[in-house]
Amino acid sequence: MNVQHILERHFGYSHFRNGQEEIINDVLNGHDVLAMLPTGGGKSLCYQLPAYLLEGRVLIISPLLSLMEDQIQQIRLRGEKRVIGLNGTLSYLGRQRALMNLNQYKYIFVSPEILQSEAVAEALSNVEISLFVVDEAHCISQWGHDFRPDYSKLGRIRRQLGGAPCLALTATATPDVLIDIEKSLQMKDVKKHIQSVNRTNIAIAIEECLSLDDKMKRVSELVRSLKGPGIIYCSSRKWTENLAQFLKMEGIQHSAYYHAGMEQEQRTLIQQQFIYDQLDVVCCTNAFGMGVNKPNVRYVIHFHFPSQMESYVQEIGRAGRDGLPSAAISLISQGDMDIQLTLLQSEFSNYEQLHEALHLLTKADGLTEEDVFGRTAITETQGRFILHHLDGLTYPLYHNEKKAAAEIYSKIEERLKFKKSKLNAVLKWLHSKDCRRKGIISYFHEENILSQKMCCDRCGLSLLSFMEREEKSEIEKPLNWRLELKAIFGQSE
């Protein structure tokens, strides 16, 4: 049975998208594969289709629960039931049952963190893994060095599980990040399929606002006039709530907020309402997007710009996945730089906190790591960074507490310097007088691109073509609760 037959029989497509067939053939030939396809370019097919031709199971490491659940739902909706997600949505008994019966599944989804569980690792070692997939592989470099160090252990875990061929998938990565992915996953003789990050159907506009009030007024104007649906990215959970409330006060009723601090049921409901066009706009942090399979997002607004160009390109890539014209608009004002610097610095502890925490960890008074970090006001994110580099010390902590503090703090300073350089690159791009698109292409070390009509504000872009011809109706859309429930539980019509 060839790949074309599988494509038609199990996925209902008559032809592959650009690059998919070549990636799949390399996977089936047992190669390690590193693939960069644009958002909406069909990355999931590159591991879902080979599963029908491989003897063993496909293990997929996914960064977000929402993304994992979306992929599981999509697989089930096409009639494939041999899929499981080992995550927090399973009860204790449900997880135990799943671990005892992993041979029954073809697709096994996990997070990097759950792979650290001895029970999960042991269960996986008892089944044949034919393909080791890392979805959104840029997270290895973007998150793995900071607040999710378990990403850096994936190469070792892959080897422990039998060293199956690896498929690393991403939508955005610089050459340095691609090297980091390859090294972290211990990939050998890699077949690379790297496509451009340029999304020609997305027009790019940057607007400067004189004040915060002006910025909020401009958001209201844009949401009222742009063809929707749309996404608005904010820098904090509080701002998503504030902005959604502001839009409702402005009469934009079909708006909501989304962030990682919400209950899972609440987040799932917002996602489903957005997917089924019951919401016109969602104000969110970067926690929203990866798990939302919605092709007709017409605009993305950055109320606060992200601290990395990679994040910006990933986030605007949620617009126009259907290939139709869409807009990416960033609103900037004084104080934005201070917000981003504060957020960057909050990811790491200061020296005093670090030294005190290490001192407490050396004391034999029964304090847990959680107790120590609580006493020193070190956050969970900061704590994970410290513990990761503490594990990397070549000597016991109690032998030289001061030296350990100096070594770990040098790692903090090094990482903070790197992240500030990323932020400075974004700032330079925001204030550049050159073509926005060429600036993005240059950042990712791609060759120059051809000029296009619908480009950016530096190239004379007008947003008029993205505006509604008629005023948006605010008539309440009826909630189709049956459709929502079916979608949530992965049931087809």
What CATH number corresponds to the domain at position 292? 3.40.50.300
CA–CA separation, 115 and 287 (whole Å): 21
pLDDT for res 389: 87
Smallest CA-to-CA distance from 136 within 70, 231, 188 is with 70
Q: How many domains does the chain have?
A: 3
Which pTM was predicted?
Answer: 0.85
pLDDT for res 111: 87
Residue 445 lies in a domain: no
Confidence of residue 161 (pLDDT cuts 50, 70, 90): very high
The answer on 311 and 327 residing in a single domain is yes
Residue 392 lies in a domain: yes
Residue 442 lies in a domain: no
**Who has greater pLDDT, 481 or 213?**
213
188 burial class (0-12, 13-18, 19+ CB within 10 angstroms)? exposed
CA–CA separation, 79 and 185 (whole Å): 32
- Within 115-186, strands assigned E span 129-134, 166-170
Q: What's the pLDDT tens digit per position in 348-392? A: 999 999 999 999 988 767 788 888 999 999 998 899 889 888 888
Residue 448 lies in a domain: no
Q: Which domain holds residue 249?
A: 202-339+454-488
pLDDT for res 147: 57
**Quick one: CA dihedral 170, 171, 176, 179, positive or negative?**
positive
Residue 170 lies in a domain: yes
Structure tokens at 15: 């032809």
Residue 437 lies in a domain: no
The answer on 216 and 163 residing in a single domain is no
CA–CA separation, 218 and 210 (whole Å): 11
Contacts of 100 (CB under 8 A, 6+ apart): 123
Find the mean pLDDT for residues 141-154: 72
pLDDT for res 484: 56
Q: What's the pLDDT tens digit per position in 298-341? A: 999 999 999 999 999 989 999 999 999 999 999 999 888 888 89
Out of 129, 159, 194, pick the residue that ends a domain. 194
The answer on 26 and 147 residing in a single domain is yes
The answer on 367 and 311 residing in a single domain is no
The answer on 298 and 161 residing in a single domain is no
Angle between helices 351-362 and 380-391 (to 10 degrees): 60
Which residue pairs, CB below 8 angstroms and at least 24 apart, start in 337-343? 337/423, 337/427, 339/235, 339/304, 340/235, 340/304, 340/305, 340/307, 340/423, 341/420, 341/423, 343/235, 343/236, 343/307
pLDDT at 198 over 70: yes
The answer on 34 and 170 residing in a single domain is yes
The answer on 180 and 213 residing in a single domain is no
The answer on 306 and 290 residing in a single domain is yes
Contacts of 118 (CB under 8 A, 6+ apart): none
The answer on 158 and 286 residing in a single domain is no
Residue 435 lies in a domain: no
Residue 434 lies in a domain: no
Contacts of 238 (CB under 8 A, 6+ apart): none
User: How many CB atoms sit inside 10 A of residue 285's CB?
Assistant: 20
pLDDT at 221 over 70: yes
The answer on 318 and 228 residing in a single domain is yes
The answer on 412 and 369 residing in a single domain is yes
CA–CA separation, 204 and 185 (whole Å): 34
Confidence of residue 470 (pLDDT cuts 50, 70, 90): very low
Smallest CA-to-CA distance from 328 within 170, 132, 428, 466 is with 466
CA–CA separation, 201 and 238 (whole Å): 32
Q: What's the pLDDT tens digit per position in 1-28? A: 689 999 998 898 889 998 999 999 999 9
The answer on 99 and 68 residing in a single domain is yes
pLDDT for res 478: 47
Mean pLDDT across the chain: 88
pLDDT for res 474: 43
Q: What's the pLDDT tens digit per position in 399-453? A: 888 899 999 999 999 999 999 999 999 999 999 999 999 999 999 998 877 778 8
